[in-house]
Amino acid sequence: MGLLDRFRGAVTGGRGTGDRGSTGNADTRYLADWVRAREGVEGFLEPKTTVTDVTVVLVASDGEWTRRIVGERGARRLASDLRIPVYDVGKTGYPQRMRDHDARKRIERQRAFDDELRDL
């Protein structure tokens, strides 16, 4: 392993720079657990960029979401492995419930911050 290989591994989460065709074991386990713990989960594939490989955003029925790198071939197997519908975010966009969830969380954080300031 060369000096630069250490940096490449850190940038890609230790999975190397090549596309292995699936998520790492920890990511696969995390995604499966996340889907089992929530209702109405749908997947939204995000295209590869210069910074990251293909990613998936899982969105639950209440708008809670999580994002993980899945790679080109891993994206194809994701729907069958997790048994959820998966959409191309470039064609469908993100669901409104995801934006609503983020807005609710932002308001909750602001209220908690304001309460802390009042207690000082």
If you average pLDDT over residues 1-15, what whole number do you get?
45
For residue 117, pLDDT over 50 is answered with: yes
The pLDDT value recorded for residue 63 is 96
CA dist list (Å): 109 to 67, 71, 97, 118: 21, 33, 18, 14
Rg, the chain, Cα only = 17
The pLDDT value recorded for residue 23 is 54
The pLDDT value recorded for residue 77 is 83
CA distance 17 to 120: 49
Query: What band does 71 get if pLDDT is binned at 50, 70 and 90?
Result: confident
CA distance 82 to 96: 22
Angle at 27 between CA 90 and CA 21, to 5 degrees: 65
Q: What is the pLDDT of residues 93-107, one digit of tens each?
A: 999 999 999 999 999
The pLDDT value recorded for residue 120 is 81
Q: What is the pLDDT of residues 33-43, one digit of tens each?
A: 999 999 999 99
The pLDDT value recorded for residue 65 is 97
